[in-house]
Amino acid sequence: MKTNEKTSDSNVLIIGGGPAGSALGCYLSKAGIKNTIFEAANHPRAHVGESMVMSSVRVFDEIGFLPILEREGFPRKYGASWHPPVTKGQADISFDEFPQEGITQQYTYHVDRQKLDLLLLKHAESLGSRVYQGVQVSEVLFDEKNFTRGVRLRIADQEIEVPSRMVVDATGRQTLLGKQLRVKKNDPIFDQFAVHAWFKNVERGKEPSTDYIHIYFLPVERGWAWQIPIDHEITSMGIVAEKEVFKKGRMAPGEYFQKYVDSNPDLQHAMRNAERINDFKLEGDYSYKMDTFAGNGFVLIGDAARFVDPIFSSGVSVALYSAKYSSERIQYAFEHNDFSEAALKPYEKKLRSGTEIWYEFIRLYYKLLPLFTKFIESKEHRIEILRLLQGEVFDRSEVPVLDAMRKYIKVVEETPNHAFASMLTDIPIS
């Protein structure tokens, strides 16, 4: 980029070209709103988060990306399996049990994120987004009335200002604007930590669950492991537990990883011939929310707005829906020439209510792990649990299964000799 004249006719500057930023670029271009995406990295770049929930399919369909997912042969994900902590066995769900409105296929996808994110960014470009990679935005600029007026970025050792009508923070866990505005709040309960890598020769389990996501409960508080197929050969494996568990263990990542692989019989079996093909990566400090997702001339989308624990693979779906819902309000803002916080706030309300449902589900899940398996296996609650697991959290005024979980937990708390009593954790629930 030589000067800022190329971008100055863009109405919306999107900072970050991950799934949230690229999907928003697609929606805006389809609505005829000129937009530019600044991405700090040069894609393909590695990224954690490789398994998607069903609701993502709806957004991919709307932005015309499904044929690309099919053409590229990303592994199809038809369901999910959960394995208990100290005994063998698994509880499965299959997505075809609960057809979702507007989704005509019975599977979603596992993805190599470097490949997915590059394709999605290219797709946004093909629909009309201007895309600049290797461009790091350092600051969002505000005018004297406290409306955004553009961004400052660094390019080839030069700082330049790029003006625009609206700015979108899609910087993921970098949370550029959240930090700048000091509206970021770390989660008071969750402080999880992940150690992960890719492996060959993982035994992926019995049919039909070989291409499901497999979650292994670990015999340590809030501990679990993921198994996600990346292609027919490679499998992503990750160990997640409280950061304290990792710190107290004082082990090298590989040693720590192996310790917890050996702690679960099914996981140990799956990994018995596994061969690691890349370095272990560590991820921590990742649960937080912003006090605000929308203000005068700006919105925050995807991880830049809110991050909930990844146990249910919700992240990319939230990123995609935040793009969809924010694009609706951005269109409204252009149609009414009103870029005020009030005009954009309905987006925040919608996204916040959906992410709060995810959060509550996750919190109740960690409060009493066996309850989740019990509900999945119960005729009464299975479909409602499945609905949540598929990412149907938006536009819902009530979620009765969460009340049922709360009631059940209360009974266990009040019954000292209940079979699950010793498995209650100290997580506060409302």
Ligand X SMILES: Cc1cc2nc3c(=O)[nH]c(=O)nc-3n(C[C@H](O)[C@H](O)[C@H](O)COP(=O)(O)OP(=O)(O)OC[C@H]3O[C@@H](n4cnc5c(N)ncnc54)[C@H](O)[C@@H]3O)c2cc1C
User: Would you tell me which residues interact with ligand X (CB under 6 A)?
Assistant: 15-21, 38-41, 47-52, 136-137, 170-174, 176, 194, 283, 286, 302-304, 310, 313, 315-317, 319
DSSP 226-278: EEEESSSSEEEEEEEEEHHHHHHHT--HHHHHHHHHTTSHHHHHHTTT-EE-S
- Shortest reach from residue 69's CB to ligand X, in Å: 14
Separation between Cα atoms, residue 232 and residue 289, nearest integer Å? 36
Report the DSSP beta bridge partners of residue 216: 83, 225
- Shortest reach from residue 56's CB to ligand X, in Å: 8
Q: Which is nearer to ligand X, 205 or 302 (CB)?
A: 302
Nearby residues of 251 by Cβ (< 8 Å), 6 or more positions away: 259
Of residues 324, 272, 287, the one with CA closest to residue 65: 324
Q: Which is nearer to ligand X, 184 or 418 (CB)?
A: 184
- Shortest reach from residue 320's CB to ligand X, in Å: 9
- Shortest reach from residue 336's CB to ligand X, in Å: 27
Give yes or no for a contact between 175 and 169, defined as CB atoms under 8 angstroms apart: yes
Of residues 166, 147, 139, 161, the one with CA closest to residue 35: 166
- Shortest reach from residue 75's CB to ligand X, in Å: 13
- Shortest reach from residue 222's CB to ligand X, in Å: 13
Q: Which is nearer to ligand X, 161 or 335 (CB)?
A: 161
Q: Which is nearer to ligand X, 264 or 322 (CB)?
A: 322
Tokens 């909930």 — which residue?
308
Q: Which is nearer to ligand X, 196 or 381 (CB)?
A: 196
Of residues 425, 305, 284, the one with CA closest to residue 362: 425
Q: Which is nearer to ligand X, 59 or 194 (CB)?
A: 194
